[in-house]
Structure 1
Amino acid sequence: MKIQTLIEEKVDNLEHYLACLISHSMEKGYQIAVWRKPHASFLEVMIDKSGQTKRVDIHALEELQAGFIAHPFEDQEDEKGFYIEADSYLKIDIKKPLDEQDAALEVLPQIIPREDCNTLIRNSFVPEKKSSHIKISEECTKNEFLHLVNKGIEAIATGALNKIVPARIKKKSLSDDFDLISVFKSLIDSYPNAFVNFFHIPQVGSWIGASPEILIQTKGEQFYTMSLAGTQKAHGENPLKNAAWTQKEIEEQALVSRYIVDCFKKIRLREYDEHGPKTVLAGNLLHLRSDFKVNMKTTNFPQLGSVMLSLLHPTSAVCGMPRKEAFEFLRINEKFDRSLFAGFIGPVNVEEVTAIYVNLRTARLMDGQAILYAGAGVTEDSDPEKEWEETEMKCEIIGKHLN
């Protein structure tokens, strides 16, 4: 029995097992993804042992083998995304003791002490100079970001844009005893409503995050997406009831909802359910969210997931509106490469479910440091100082756990 072998080899608990599994995979040059969906009580783990950096067509998700996709913010010339294909797939109950999960723990890693796992993981973080796909830029100063926001407000005032979402990076040093598994567990405990994830692709890097936003989900005959925008800090014992939204925030979220409806109109889809907006909690922040559902069988649209993914990305919540003009503004004026930030990630065709999330509240883990990413929605009523404060709050959602 695998469990008995694990116990004999002195695996202390589920966290130790996970540490051994991840460190072994990274040391071998495998690709690995670990995630916990919102409100789920189990972890999912996927390992690709091929040693190849795979890329797949995002226009035909329904035809792919089970896997985990990671697509940059900026479309590649061939519009493909990085793909971790499931050589091994595990589903582990977080709440059950290790010795009760023999059926789940199908992969038996090399058992080594926890502290040695930590060292192997840290040594496997891809240095910037060795990454062939991802570039890292310098942090911008507060004044530089304020200037960028003001430039966006000016463009909106001329009528060239309705909304723009400028972003920035923030670098944080990692300690010599950085423990990935403890950080991952801390994110799971702190953010039950988020898609908590870690993935490692040797030529792309190691990323960790807790995204609050589904881009598209297909489950059986049901399609789902959401519009999530507007941000304020949660206050008090009952922050959902205490929330008061400004006209700027309400309009910002309404723009995202209208964009989704416009996408439905483009494909002549009229039968959909819309609910919201309502206030939702994501970590220590509040957002406004509307939910959209479509029955793919009733509408005779089995490929709706792939079609809407192409239409929605990048959403106005991470780019702006009109999308083409906003994207061009960011390309010219942002002084860093967003890489996978504000792109999309998630499992594809795993147990007949595809759940793809916008890659928000994320950090790239590197040798000795983490790169944090955050953006802010700018409209004509924006206050540049408040937009800076919003990016600071968003960086801290992950940053405060990276001790």
Structure 2
Amino acid sequence: MHTNVATNHTNTEILQLLLQLGMTSGGSFAIWRKPKTNNIEIVLDETTIPVKVDLSIEKLDPGFIVHPFADQMDKKAYFIKANKYFSFELDNPLATADLPEWAKIQLTNQKRLSPNAIRDLLSKQTLTHKTKTSKSSEEKAHFIQLVKKGIEAIQQKQLEKVVPARTKTISIPLDFNLGSTLLNLMDSYPNAFINFFHLPHVGTWIGASPETLIETKGDTFYTMSLAGTQKASGDNPLKSVAWTQKEIEEQALVSRYIVACFKKIRLREYEEHGPKTVMAGNLLHLRSDFRINMQETGFPELGSIMLELLHPTSAVCGMPRREAHDFLQEFEGFDRSFYSGFLGSVNIQGSTSIYVNLRTASLHDDQATLYAGAGVTEDSDPEKEWEETELKCQIIGRFIQNPSA
């Protein structure tokens, strides 16, 4: 008698299989793990041309949304519809039989790719967006000058705060294993939104964002203000941290901006908690949390309303928003693409969770372009702001260059 024995797969194997299915499908897909959860999710849409949608998120089908930093001319976002969806718990061994039917069929018909083959697939992508590279000394000189310009604009009362950003391009090593890298990010940053998405001919990105833009579940709406950065140090960094007036004021500006958005729509009933110190990897930030009951306040579409009002937040752009945005467009010197835009799951299992696209990198041509910004106020020190961006670049960069970091 012949017995079929179910083969259990490790987390790395399952993730590699799902990445292979996505990369060889010809379509768009996203893989993610929400903060403080143990659940990996994937959506796959095999349509070869990426789809764009309006930002009325309450009316959207289940899927994954990706919006750049700058407003699109058509005011739309990329959307990966959950034509195929699967989720599984980490550390819960899966047998082939546990995979969804669509995955089993494709895996049966496909040759198993090596981890390096997925890297090769990434390097063959034709992208509409590429960032020009320059020497690190030129990058630093440009960024320092940009910060000084920002401080001058604040001193002249043109701006209250501005958040200049920069890029850093690193090579992707030959032994780069995308599945292992994602799992190591999940293990190292339990409080971050770990994500990977691929839009054919548009971009392929990996990230570990610490910042929720909006979240809706049932009648509850949630957002946060996150700003101020310093390196975690000592045995108990959350207890020993000391914040400067510059960092406290920087975070307070973001909170005031959120409250101003509430006032704009005459929403008066909200809970505000904080600010408190939170840890994101090896960095500390100040965070305040805001909660609203959408039914009690009569705002059933608050998710879409606040998405439009909040993005781009003062934490990634500055204040006043329009003037800060114009300053960055004029002087920053590169296209942010999806960096400091937003991304996340929409209407999946009764909830929408959208995050600011921070601590992120685009993957292309055997290289990764890292993105980071720093909040500039009148009290900023240009050299320290550069060091802050270096620390932020390391969050993703060290995992790409050393997957077991």
Name the TM tier (shorter chain): over 0.9
Shift in CA distance, 6/54, structure 1 to aligned 2, threshold 3 Å: farther
**Stretch of structure 1 that moved more, 27-36 or 139-148:** 139-148
The answer for the alignment partner of 2:303 in structure 1 is: 305
Shift in CA distance, 101/28, structure 1 to aligned 2, threshold 3 Å: closer
Asked if 1:71 corresponds to 2:58, the answer is no
Distance 2:44 2:207 in 1: 18
Contact 2:21–2:103 under 8 Å retained in 1:
no
Asked if 1:93 corresponds to 2:89, the answer is yes
Q: 2:253 aligns with which of 245, 252, 255?
A: 255
Distance 1:340 1:6 in 2: 41
Q: Which runs of 5 or more structure 1 residues have no equivalent in the other structure?
A: none
Instruction: State the 1:138 CA deviation.
Output: 2.4
Distance 1:135 1:370 in 2: 11
Q: Secondary structure at the match of 1:315?
A: coil
Counterpart of 1:50 in structure 2: which amino acid?
Answer: T
Q: Secondary structure at the match of 1:78?
A: coil
Contact 2:192–2:280 under 8 Å retained in 1:
yes
Instruction: State the 1:125 CA deviation.
Output: 1.9
Q: 2:338 aligns with which of 337, 340, 343?
A: 340
Asked if 1:56 corresponds to 2:79, the answer is no
Q: 1:359 aligns with which of 354, 357, 373?
A: 357
Instruction: State the 1:105 CA deviation.
Output: 7.7
**Deviation digits for residues 283-337 of structure 1, max 9, x if unmatched?**
0000000000000000111100000000000000000000000000000001110
Distance 1:224 1:12 in 2: 36
Distance 2:73 2:184 in 1: 37
Contact 1:92–1:104 under 8 Å retained in 2:
no
Distance 2:139 2:13 in 1: 40
Q: Secondary structure at the match of 1:401?
A: helix
Distance 1:202 1:186 in 2: 25
The answer for the alignment partner of 2:153 in structure 1 is: 155
Q: 1:240 aligns with which of 218, 238, 241?
A: 238
Q: Secondary structure at the match of 1:402?
A: helix
Counterpart of 1:366 in structure 2: which amino acid?
Answer: H
The answer for the alignment partner of 1:37 in structure 2 is: 34
The answer for the alignment partner of 2:130 in structure 1 is: 135
Q: Secondary structure at the match of 1:360?
A: coil
1:263-278 equivalences in 2 (<5 Å): 263-278=261-276
The answer for the alignment partner of 1:107 in structure 2 is: 103
Q: 2:78 aligns with which of 82, 86, 91?
A: 82
Q: Secondary structure at the match of 2:295?
A: coil
Contact 2:198–2:205 under 8 Å retained in 1:
yes
**Deviation digits for residues 88-118 of structure 1, max 9, x if unmatched?**
111101021123982778622426787x332
Counterpart of 2:309 in structure 1: which amino acid?
Answer: L
Contact 1:156–1:162 under 8 Å retained in 2:
yes
Q: Secondary structure at the match of 1:125?
A: helix
Contact 2:9–2:93 under 8 Å retained in 1:
no
Instruction: State the 1:135 CA deviation.
Output: 3.4
The answer for the alignment partner of 1:371 in structure 2 is: 369
Q: 2:180 aligns with which of 177, 182, 194?
A: 182
Counterpart of 2:359 in structure 1: which amino acid?
Answer: R
Q: Which runs of 5 or more structure 2 residues have no equivalent in the other structure?
A: none
**Deviation digits for residues 202-243 of structure 1, max 9, x if unmatched?**
122211010000000000000000000000000111111111
Shift in CA distance, 170/272, structure 1 to aligned 2, threshold 3 Å: same
Distance 1:119 1:392 in 2: 28
Distance 1:184 1:105 in 2: 24
Instruction: State the 1:6 CA deviation.
Output: 6.9
Q: TM-score, normalized by length of structure 2?
A: 0.93
Count of residues in correspondence between the two structures? 393
Distance 2:5 2:85 in 1: 20
Q: 1:215 aligns with which of 179, 199, 213?
A: 213
The answer for the alignment partner of 2:14 in structure 1 is: 17
Contact 1:25–1:31 under 8 Å retained in 2:
yes
Contact 2:49–2:200 under 8 Å retained in 1:
no
Counterpart of 1:289 in structure 2: which amino acid?
Answer: R
The answer for the alignment partner of 2:166 in structure 1 is: 168
Shift in CA distance, 370/241, structure 1 to aligned 2, threshold 3 Å: same
Contact 1:126–1:206 under 8 Å retained in 2:
no
Contact 1:276–1:289 under 8 Å retained in 2:
yes
Distance 2:208 2:214 in 1: 16
Contact 2:27–2:50 under 8 Å retained in 1:
no
